[in-house]
Chains A and B, each alone.
Chain A
Amino acid sequence: MFKGITYTASLFTIIVLFGIIATLFSEGLPILKHVNIKDFLTSPNWHPTHFPADFGILSLIVGSLVVTAGALIIAIPLGLGSAIYISEIAGTRSKEIIKPIIELLAGIPSVVYGLFGMAFLSPFLIKVFGIPTGLNAFSASIVLGVMVVPIISSMSEDALSTVPRNLREASFALGATRWETIVQIVLPAARSGVVGSIMLGFGRAIGETMVVIMIAGGAAQIPKSIFQPVRPMTAAIASEMGETVIGSPHFHALFGIAIVLFFITFITNLITEFVFLKKRK
């Protein structure tokens, strides 16, 4: 009886996963009646409310990728840098200061980051760079990057701390400096965990909704510079779902975007799981 309850609860997680996949496909695939799959994925024209409507999501995919790449460019040095510092250089005292700072960053709700970007960062960037709008791929990347820092930092730190001590000692004994030891011994030994942390950060950034819906600007276009507004996939789904008629082509198109998004995060997860984390064990 008791075992049965716990078994059912475990089964529930599998059911939920299949439920999510089934929902996405049953509501998303009907869009292919209105547009062929090649145009859906490769046309940059997203005009779902025009007549006739255009359902090309390339500019949304590019929007997501640009913002995510920008976020990682910021988050990798900051996150990995603090992980290396905490694990290899900092004394106990500075560790006790730095780690809570990073944990604090992880706990801040994304909508508050969005508020900060919209109400403070955007006007600030307009002043500094003299650009027409502060809501663009650049500002979204900055805020998203800071959000990803704790993920990369905490997981990389785990990976670095599992590198055996005697590897470092052997390196010092051979006369290597601390920096040489970090770059040539510790980082290569922790490589799989570090790459895994970056992939996790990628998945987190590409799936984040509130920050990009509030800060990325919202224009469905392939940006010519990072200071142009973009409309990432998550922003399109979240902002347009409220205005669509249930069962309309636009509604199905938004679920179609969700299928693409799900696949990107699913494959990222799979690679992390099987290639990188397995190796470590």
Chain B
Amino acid sequence: MTKRELKQFLGVNALRFFIAVTAIFLILFLYVIISKGGKMISWSFLTESPKKYMTEGGIFPAIVGTFWLTIISIGISLPLGVFTAIYMVSYGKPAWFVRSVRIAINTLAGVPSIIYGLFGLTVFVQLMKLDVSILAGSLTLAILALPVMINASEEALRSVPQDFREASLALGATERQTILRVLLPTALPNILTGTIISIGRVAGETAPILFTAATFYTRRLPTSVMDEVMVLPYHIYALMTEGAHADKQVPIAYGTAVVLLALVLLVSTIAIIIRYNIRKKRKW
């Protein structure tokens, strides 16, 4: 083997090694979480409230909390994201404004999630006097999800062929009619995929809701958007860092992690399936 062939051999196998390390970590990770958390999962674990200061019982309030936070925050950021994307794609003037919006989106996308938490604490919790509540947390998460939502919607709108738009305008439709009846319906499946991906992200976020929505322990379910809630990701964190019965809390944390992982992975699988179907059906 020449020196060059040796280099090639070593190099390519180094790459294989790096991939193997990544894959082994993932397998080990999933194995640990699922083997330790899987045995916690039962009907009562999913449907009961926690008991005896989190050392027994289920996680139902946390599931409900995550559900509401996710639904409300996506409900706020989806229209905002789609409208922004429409402006950027269809109107796109004046150029300096579009450029400023673009810079704002890119900057927001890079802002650490804990800073969104501080913003939510100052503006929603204190200034708007929403206190620590579902609403304050949802608003914070909505802003966090906004850059992803805008980028996904914009990409979806831009993937609609220019001909569609021109055909609609040529038939005498106004700009608004073209957007609402041609552009949006055509881009909808892709926007949906982006939305589902955002749902997965929002459901797993912890840092932004630490001081805006989450509470460690409540036995009752939220009755309005002004209540503080238990949330799945925060529940895992709290079980690992608070309370005095680690031996009983750690297994519950693993169980909660399995539920959260299942939720997030289910959501992203749905997104992948939808995307696959769109690509197969698309005729242009």
Interfacial residues, chain A to chain B (CB-CB below 8 A):
2-3, 5-14, 16-17, 19-20, 23-24, 27, 77-78, 81-82, 84-85, 89, 98, 101-105, 107-116, 118-120, 146, 149, 177-180, 182-183, 200, 203, 206-210, 213-214, 234, 237-238, 241-242, 246, 254-255, 258, 261-262, 265-266, 268-269, 273
Contact B206 A101 (CB under 8 A): no
6 contacts between A and B (CB under 8 A): A5-B83, A6-B91, A19-B123, A23-B119, A112-B33, A261-B112
By a CB distance below 8 angstroms, the chain B residues around A238 are 114, 117, 207, 210
Within 8 A of A (CB), among B240-271: 240-241, 250, 253-254, 257, 260-261, 264-265, 268
Q: Give the residues in chain A near B114, CB-CB below 8 Å.
A: 207, 209, 234, 237-238, 258, 261
Q: What is the CA–CA distance of A213 and B238 in the complex, to the nearest angstrom?
A: 12
Provide the residues of chain B in CB contact with A89, threshold 8 Å. 12, 15
- Contact yes or no, B240 A118, CB < 8 A: yes
Q: Pick from B118, B150, B233: contact of A23, CB below 8 A.
A: B118
CA distance A213 to B234 in the complex (A): 13
Q: A105-B26, A115-B240, A116-B33 are in contact. Are A9 and B110 (CB under 8 A)?
A: no
- Residues from chain A with Cβ under 8 Å of B15 in the complex: 81-82, 84-85, 89
- Indicate if the CB atoms of A116 and B32 lie closer than 8 Å: yes
Is chain B's binding surface mostly helix, strand, loop or mixed?
Answer: helix
Residue of A whose beta carbon sits closest to that of B251: A119
When distances are taken between beta carbons in the complex, the residues of chain A under 8 Å from B44 are none
Residues of B with Cβ closer than 8 Å to A? 4-5, 7-8, 11-12, 14-19, 21-23, 25-26, 29, 32-33, 36, 79-80, 83-84, 86-88, 90-91, 97-98, 100-101, 104-108, 110-119, 121-123, 126, 143, 146-147, 150, 175-176, 179-180, 200, 203-207, 210-211, 233-234, 236-237, 240-241, 250, 253-254, 257, 260-261, 264-265, 268
Q: What is the minimal beta-carbon distance from A106 to any residue of chain B, in angstroms?
A: 9
Quote the shortest CB–CB distance from A281 to chain B (angstroms). 13
The minimal Cβ–Cβ distance linking A177 to chain B, given in whole angstroms, is 4
Q: Do A108 and B264 touch across chains, with their CB atoms under 8 A apart?
A: yes
What residues on A are CB-neighbors of B117 within 8 Å?
Answer: 238, 241
